[in-house]
């Protein structure tokens, strides 16, 4: 059985997959590398995982290997971990009807040719036969030609492929953007005609695809294609405008998916988004099933960027240090750099200077709430305000010792008492 483990090296995965193929063949079964790893190799990319397709049925796979797990035995999918990394091993199959527009109602174990013909796009329907003489590509759908011409094409009838699983419209965008492919006209027409059907796909699946697109440097191309194909209105609803996406296009390649989403949101809704981040975050989070962590980063990136753009020049040293140390400030600066590069460079330079001023961006506070209690103060609303003011004075170099911090706190409490009377 499989267990949790750290990600394995792709070369280790390939070695494990090849050993699985060798053992399956020694038991008189056909076995090939299949799908994405073949596509990536032909496109000059390093495959991230390796899948095996075989004529062996799940119970036969289970009898041949010691460490297996049935994750989709009814669909012919098993996991094998006999050689270290976990490898997905699937039986060649043909699919029945997709009544839920997501997965087939039933499958029939079949041949490599029929297995290729049930897949989504030709670039994903290739097999690789590793032989002593070298790798041999097995291609029943002209996928190699499409890879050579950089074309994304549905296998068979594109309307049928999209009706089977409506999410394939977004998968087409992700593959085309990531690998710089042109979508075949008939496939493109089918996506456009079936765009409204994407509304029936769960937000979890849509959000997962969008997250994968935004996490990749090809994100801007993906966003443009989503708009051109009419998928953005289905995903986000009315009020979107993605004809121009200058912020997303200018975003540096290393930005995280939540930062990229904040840039895309800014392009769709204009700079007014910086004044209503929470409302839009709630909307986008609901549309894309963001995790709490992603939503927090999305909100913080927009909020901090808004302050940096509108208020940085008028903020105090203490406010600047506090901003610089907020979680996700780096992502916010990435967003500012995409909008106003000179301002971002000025902010980065000033933060660097503040970090080396002898005080630092986030020194340990000279006093805390326990010290205030020991001074005889009663915990209440004034505590946070006093501690914040004392820490601001520390950040700005106005005080630097414990006794100075205590004296300032006493003065502040006196002022609060006078104001309350």
Q: What is the pLDDT of residue 3?
A: 39
Q: What is the pLDDT of residue 270?
A: 80
Phi and psi angles of residue 199, each rounded to the nearest 5 degrees, phi first: -65, -20
Query: Strand 51-54 relative to strand 87-91: parallel, antiparallel, unpaired?
Result: parallel
Residue by residue, pLDDT tens for the chain (421 residues) are 333 344 567 779 999 999 999 999 999 999 999 999 999 999 999 998 999 999 999 999 999 999 999 987 788 999 999 999 999 999 999 887 777 667 777 789 999 999 999 999 999 999 999 988 889 999 999 999 999 999 999 999 999 999 999 999 999 999 999 999 999 999 999 999 999 999 999 999 999 999 999 999 999 999 999 999 999 989 988 655 557 899 999 999 999 999 999 999 999 888 777 777 888 888 888 899 999 999 999 999 999 999 999 999 999 999 999 999 999 999 999 999 999 999 999 999 999 999 999 999 999 999 999 999 999 988 988 899 999 999 999 999 999 999 999 999 999 998 876 666 4
Domain ranges in the chain?
1-141, 150-236, 244-362, 369-420
Cα–Cα dist 218/363, whole Å: 39
Q: What is the pLDDT of residue 2?
A: 37
Query: Which CATH entry fits the domain spanning 150-236: 1.10.110.30, 1.10.150.20, 3.30.1300.10, 1.20.900.10?
Result: 1.10.110.30
**DSSP result, 141-191:** S-HHHHHHTTEE-BSS-HHHHHHH-TTHHHHHHHHHHHTT-EEPHHHHHHH
Q: What is the pLDDT of residue 248?
A: 96
Q: What is the pLDDT of residue 327?
A: 94
Q: Please give the structure tokens belonging to residue 188.
A: 């493109």
115: nearest Cα among 134, 145, 93: 93
Q: What is the pLDDT of residue 104?
A: 74
Q: What is the pLDDT of residue 306?
A: 92
Q: What is the pLDDT of residue 4?
A: 38
Cα–Cα dist 210/223, whole Å: 9
Cα–Cα dist 247/241, whole Å: 13
Q: What is the pLDDT of residue 276?
A: 77
Identify any residues that bridge with 134 across adjacent strands, giving them in sequence order.
131
Distances (CA, A) of 145 to 36, 137, 159, 179, 377: 16, 12, 21, 15, 78
Cα–Cα dist 281/266, whole Å: 11
Phi and psi angles of residue 32, each rounded to the nearest 5 degrees, phi first: -135, 160
191: nearest Cα among 227, 223, 159, 160: 159
Cα–Cα dist 176/214, whole Å: 14
Query: Which CATH entry fits the domain spanning 1-141: 3.20.20.60, 3.30.460.10, 3.40.50.1820, 3.40.50.2000?
Result: 3.30.460.10
Helix or strand or coil: residue 85?
coil
């Amino acid at each position: 059985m499989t267990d949790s483990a750290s990600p394995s090296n792709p070369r280790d995965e390939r070695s494990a997959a090849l050993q699985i193929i060798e053992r399956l063949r020694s038991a008189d079964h056909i076995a090939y590398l299949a799908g994405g790893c073949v596509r990536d190799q032909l496109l000059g990319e390093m495959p991230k995982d390796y899948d095996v397709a075989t004529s062996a049925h799940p119970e036969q796979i289970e009898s041949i290997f010691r460490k297996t797990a049935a994750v989709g035995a009814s669909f012919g999918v098993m996991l094998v971990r006999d050689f270290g990394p976990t490898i997905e091993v699937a039986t060649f199959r043909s699919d029945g009807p997709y009544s839920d527009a997501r997965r087939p109602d039933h499958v029939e174990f079949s041949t490599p040719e029929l297995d290729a013909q049930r897949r989504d796009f030709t670039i994903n329907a290739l097999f690789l036969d590793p032989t002593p003489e070298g790798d041999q590509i097995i291609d029943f759908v002209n996928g190699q030609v499409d890879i050579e011409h950089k074309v994304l094409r549905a296998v068979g009838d594109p309307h049928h492929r999209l009706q089977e699983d409506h999410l394939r419209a977004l998968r087409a965008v992700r593959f085309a953007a990531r690998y710089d492919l042109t979508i075949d006209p008939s496939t493109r027409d089918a996506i456009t005609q079936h765009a409204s059907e994407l509304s029936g796909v769960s937000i979890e699946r849509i959000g997962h695809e969008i997250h994968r697109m935004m996490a990749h440097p090809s994100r801007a191309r993906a966003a443009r294609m989503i708009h051109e194909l009419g998928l953005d209105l289905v995903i986000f609803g009315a009020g979107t405008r993605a004809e121009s996406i200058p912020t997303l296009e200018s975003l540096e390649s290393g930005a995280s998916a939540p930062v990229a989403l904040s840039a895309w949101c800014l392009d769709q809704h204009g700079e007014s988004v910086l004044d209503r981040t929470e409302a839009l975050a709630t909307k986008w989070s609901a549309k894309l099933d963001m995790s709490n962590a992603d939503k927090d980063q999305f909100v913080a990136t927009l909020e901090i960027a808004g302050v940096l753009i509108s208020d940085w020049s008028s903020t105090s040293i203490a406010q600047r240090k506090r901003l610089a140390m907020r979680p996700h400030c780096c992502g916010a600066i990435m967003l500012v750099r995409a909008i106003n590069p000179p301002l971002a460079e000025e902010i980065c330079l000033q933060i660097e200077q503040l970090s080396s001023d002898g005080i630092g961006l986030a020194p340990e506070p000279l006093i805390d709430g326990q010290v205030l209690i020991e001074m005889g103060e009663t915990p209440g609303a004034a505590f946070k305000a006093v501690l914040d003011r004392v820490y601001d004075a520390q950040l700005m170099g106005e005080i630097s010792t414990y006794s100075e911090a205590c004296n300032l706190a006493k003065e502040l409490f006196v002022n609060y008492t006078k104001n309350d009377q």
